[in-house]
Structure formats: C-alpha cells, structure tokens
C-alpha cells in the first residue's frame, strides 16, 4: 500500500509539473497576443496645450490652431484632439473659426473629423456673422471643403436655415443643403 501511495504522489507531482510547464508555455503567448492588441492603441507622442501657426508661401497667415491635448496613435497614424480651435485665415484678415469638443485627424492630415458641438463661424467685412453648427462634420483642409450628414443649422445676417446634411465649399462661400431644408429669412 505505501508503494501505491508513493506512485500516486509521484504521478500527481509529474502531472502538476507538466501542467505548470504547459501553462508557462501558453501564458507567454497569450501575454504576447494581449500586448499586440494593446499596441494597436499605443500613443507614440502627445502634446498638452498645443499651438501651431502656419503661413502661406507669400508670408500671410494661413491658420492658427490650438488644442487642449493631441495624441497620435502609432498603429493607425490617427491623431486625436481634445478641444480643437482653428482660425483659418487663408491669407485674409477675416478668419473662419472652427471649434468642436473633439477631432480625429486622418493619416497625413487629409481629413479632419470634428466631433460634438461643431461650430464654424465667420464675420465678413460688413460685420455680418455666419455661424454653422452641427454635431459632427468632416473637413478636407486642402480642398477647403466640409460636409456632414447630420442636422445642420446656419445662422446668417438675413436669417436662420436648418437642414439634414450639408456640403460646404469654404473657398467660394457656397453651401449645398441635402434635405429637410427649412428657413426663416428677413427681407431688408
């Protein structure tokens, strides 16, 4: 009987050692997989209180941007921005002012997705304001183009217009409203 107990203990000890080796060999692989999954959201650089200014080739101010925080995601090359504020001058003295709660900038800065409380405003030379608001908007800076599929509200000197969806060509001041367009305009 003592021989049988000894064999059982040896067998149990071998089973524990094999299980531990098996776990040890599996755990590093699963840990590597978890590490790879977390690498997808690795921030490779960030800035707090960011401010940037860009000039045109002729030396005139092109834009000024500030943000509470910028985070660049290494794996996707997307930049996340908290509280962006952009003053887009394009060489003029009267800028478009663009703000939102958050923004996501695509790789290479091709597109900027403005998210939550989007506001685009400008006052013209005759001191007439234009304010465009929406919950979300995509901006393509190089084309000076903005679009949204969300509800949009445009307050201008002569009235208020609302619509569902908009395409705005900022360079020539043209806006195409998509659907459910409603307006209240004051005739002067």
Give the per-residue pLDDT at 21. 47
HEC string of the chain equals CHHHHHHHHHHHHHHHHHHHHHHHHHHHHHHHHHHHHHHCCCEEEEEEEEEEEEECCCCCEEEEEEEEEEEEECCCCEEEEECCEEEECCCCCCCEEEECCEEEECHHHCCEEEEEEEEEEEECCCCCEEEEEEEEEEEEHHHCEEEEEEEEEEEECCEEEEEEEEEEECCCCEEEEEEEEEEEECCC
pTM, 2 dp: 0.72
Of the listed ranges 49-58, 104-113, 167-176, the least confidently predicted one is 167-176
Give per-residue pLDDT as tens, 7-32. Answer: 455 554 465 444 444 555 554 555 55
Q: What is the mean pLDDT of residues 48-58?
A: 89
Residue-range domain boundaries for the chain:
1-36, 41-183
Check residues 144 and 188 and name the one with the higher pLDDT: 144
Buried/exposed code over 117-141 (b: 16+ C-beta within 10 A; e: otherwise): ebbbebeeeeeeebebbbebbebeb
Q: What is the mean pLDDT of residues 46-74?
A: 89
Residue indicated by tokens 């755990």: 27
Work out the mean pLDDT of the chain and round it to a whole number.
Answer: 81
- In angstroms, how far apart are the furthest CA atoms of the chain? 110
CATH number of 41-183: 2.60.450.10
Q: What is the mean pLDDT of residues 124-153?
A: 90
């Amino acid at each position: 009987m003592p021989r049988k107990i000894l064999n059982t203990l040896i067998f149990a000890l071998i089973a524990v050692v094999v299980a531990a080796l098996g776990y040890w060999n599996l755990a590093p692989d699963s840990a590597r997989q978890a590490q790879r999954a977390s690498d997808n959201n690795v921030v490779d650089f960030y800035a707090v209180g960011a401010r940037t200014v860009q000039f045109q080739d002729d030396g005139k101010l092109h834009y000024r941007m500030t943000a509470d925080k910028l985070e660049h995601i290494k794996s996707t090359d997307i930049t996340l921005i908290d509280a962006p504020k952009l003053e887009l001058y394009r060489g003029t003295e009267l800028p478009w002012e663009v703000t939102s709660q958050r923004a996501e900038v695509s790789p290479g800065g091709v597109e900027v997705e403005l998210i939550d409380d989007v506001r685009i405003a400008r006052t013209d030379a005759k001191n007439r304001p234009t304010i465009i608001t929406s919950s979300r908007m995509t901006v393509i800076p190089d084309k000076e183009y903005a679009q949204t599929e969300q509800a949009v509200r445009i307050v201008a000197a002569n009235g208020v217009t609302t619509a569902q969806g908009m395409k705005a060509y900022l360079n020539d001041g043209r806006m195409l409203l998509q659907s459910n367009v409603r307006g209240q305009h004051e005739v002067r």
